[in-house]
Amino acid sequence: MQLLIKGGRILDPGKIDDTMDILVEDGRIAKVGKSLRSVKKGAGARVIDASGLTVIPGLIDLHVHFREPGHEYKETIETGCLAAAAGGFTAVCTMPNTLPVNDNRQVTEFILEKAAKACGVRVYPVGAISKGLKGEALSEFSDLLAGGAVAVSDDGRPVLGSLLMRRALEYAKGFGLFVISHCEDLDLAQGGAMNEGEIATRMGLPGIPNAAESIMVQRDIALCALTGARLHIAHVSTRESVAAIRDAKARGIPVTAETAPHYFTLTDAAVQNYDTHAKMNPPLRSEEDRNAVWEGLSDGTLDVIATDHAPHSSIEKDVEFDQAAFGIIGLETALPLGLKLVESGVLSLTGLIEKMSINPAKILGINHRINVGNPADLTLFDLNRTYRIDATRFFSKSRNTPFNGWELKGKTVLTMVAGAVVFKEA
C-alpha cells in the first residue's frame, strides 16, 4: 500500500522546509524527496495533491478531556478523536478525570479499546496521581503504565498536599513516567469564578488571584528540584508562573510547561456579558498576563501549546455564570489560533509547529520527525485559507467555545495517522 503526498511545502522544524514529496509505504515514511514517483507497478500509489499546502509532523495535544467513561453526553472517545483529527491532531493525551477516574489499569485499557475503534487518532491516556483524584493515596503507577498510560496527573483536582506531590514525583520517576501538574491552590482560589481584578469587581463575580496558580507552580518547581523527577506544568495562565518557570529552567530544573490557545488569545474582558463560554480554570487573565504568555512562548519558557479541550453541554453552560462549569473545547480551533501568533510575530511558523508537535512528542518520548522509517503521522493544512468558525459544524459533541463566529486563517485539509487518512476536508 503506497501513498504519495505530492508538491507540498514539507516543514519539519529545524530539518526540512522545502517543496517536496513524501512517499508513504505500509503506514511509514518511505521516501522524502523532489519529484518522487511511486515505485510499485500495477495499481500504483494513491496520490494526494498537496500543492499549496503545508505538510507537518501531526499535531499532538498533551491535554484533552474526552469524558468517556462517565459523561458520554459531552464527548466520547470517538467524537473526541474526530474533533482532534479535524483540528490536525494525530495524537492526544486524555486526562484521567472521567467517571470512574482513570486511576487503574482497567479504565486505561477501556480507553485504549475505545480508541482502537475510533478514527485512528492516537490516544495516550494519562493516569491519576491519586486514587479517585482524592489526594489521599497514590494510584498504581506501574499497573497504569502497563495498561498504556504515558503520564500521571490529578488534573482538575490539584494535589494540595506537598508530601503526596513529592512522593508522586519520586514514584513516577521509578517508572519513567512524568507528572503533569494542574497548579492551583484551592484554598486561595476558593469560590472564584473568573480572574480577580477590575472586571470581576465590576461584574460582581468572585475572583481567582494569579497567586492561586503561581504559588503552586513555585511549590511544584521546588519539589521537582528536590526529587529530580520530570514535571510538566499544565495550562499556564499568569505572568508570575511564566517567570517562575523561566527561572527554574535557567537553574537546570527538569520542568516543562504548556499554555492553551485561549490564554494567548483572550483576556478576562471576554467574560463581560457573563459569557459562560469564556469561563475556564485557570481563568482568562489580564492583558499583562497574556503578554507574559506571549513572551514565554517566544523565549521557550513555555514548551507546548495544549488545548485543555474540555467539552460541556448546554446543561452545564446555559446557566447562571457562577453556576456554570469551567472549561471550553479547543481541538478544532487551536491551529488557526496558533497561526495568529505567527501573524503577529510572537512565533515563527517553525516555532509554532515545535510547540504543537515536536515538543509534545519529545515530552512523550516519541520519534515524530518526517524521517524515513517513522510512522506517517502528518497534517496537511492551508496556511492562507480564511474561514468563519461555526461551532454547529464541529465534530466534537460539545459547542462550548468562545471563538464561534470568529474569522480565522489556517485550515486543516487532511490528517493522517500511520499512513491512514483520519480526516479529509469534504
Partner 1 sequence: MQFTKKDILDMESLTAEEITLILDTAEHMKEIGTRPVKKVPTLRGKTVVLFFYEPSTRTRTSFDIAAKRLSADSHSISAGTSSMVKGETLIDTARNVEAMNPDILVIRHSSSGAPHMLAALCKFCVINAGDGTHAHPTQALLDLLTVREKKGAITGLRLAIIGDITHSRVARSNIVGFTKMGASVVVSGPPTMIPPGIERLGATVTYPMEKAISDADIIMMLRIQKERQKGFLFSSEREYARAYGLNREKLNYAKPGVLIMHPGPINRGVEIDPEVADGPYSVILDQVANGVAVRMALLYLVAGGARHAASD
Measured between alpha carbons, how far is 12 from 373 in angstroms, rounded to an integer?
A: 15
**Residue 269 touching partner 1 (CB under 8 A):** no
Cα dihedral 350→351→353→354 (10° resolution): 120
213: left (phi over 0), alpha (psi -120 to 50) or beta: alpha
Distance of CA 48 to the CA centre of its chain: 28
**Residue 199 touching partner 1 (CB under 8 A):** yes
Of 37-45, 62-70, 201-209, 364-372, the segment contacting partner 1 by CB under 8 A is 201-209
Q: Which of 288, 319, 344, 384 binds partner 1 (CB under 8 A)?
A: 319
Per annotation, catalytic residue among 103, 289, 308, 377 = 308
Helices (H) and strands (E) in the chain, counts: 14, 18
Of 64-72, 115-123, 321-329, 354-362, the segment contacting partner 1 by CB under 8 A is 321-329
393-396, Cβ contacts within 8 angstroms, sequence gap of 24 or more: 394/83, 394/86, 394/329, 394/332, 395/79, 395/82, 395/83, 395/85, 395/86, 395/332, 396/75, 396/79, 396/80, 396/82, 396/83, 396/309, 396/311, 396/329, 396/331, 396/332
Question: Is 423 strand, coil or helix?
Answer: strand
Measured between alpha carbons, how far is 242 from 28 in angstroms, rounded to an integer?
A: 38
CB nearer to partner 1: give 145 or 278.
278
Whether residue 308 lies in the annotated active site: yes
Contact 255, 224 (CB under 8 A): yes
Q: Which of 19, 142, 162, 201 binds partner 1 (CB under 8 A)?
A: 201
**Residue 326 touching partner 1 (CB under 8 A):** no
Of 42-50, 190-198, 217-225, 238-246, the segment contacting partner 1 by CB under 8 A is 190-198
The nearest distance, CB 212 to partner 1, in angstroms, is: 14
**Residue 321 touching partner 1 (CB under 8 A):** yes
Residues in the chain: 426
The nearest distance, CB 268 to partner 1, in angstroms, is: 11
Of 46-54, 204-212, 290-298, 390-398, the segment contacting partner 1 by CB under 8 A is 204-212
The nearest distance, CB 286 to partner 1, in angstroms, is: 10
C-alpha cell at 307: 488545548
Q: Which of 17, 140, 170, 322 binds partner 1 (CB under 8 A)?
A: 322
**Residue 205 touching partner 1 (CB under 8 A):** yes
Active-site residue set: 308
Chain positions contacting partner 1, by CB under 8 A: 190, 196-207, 273-274, 318-323
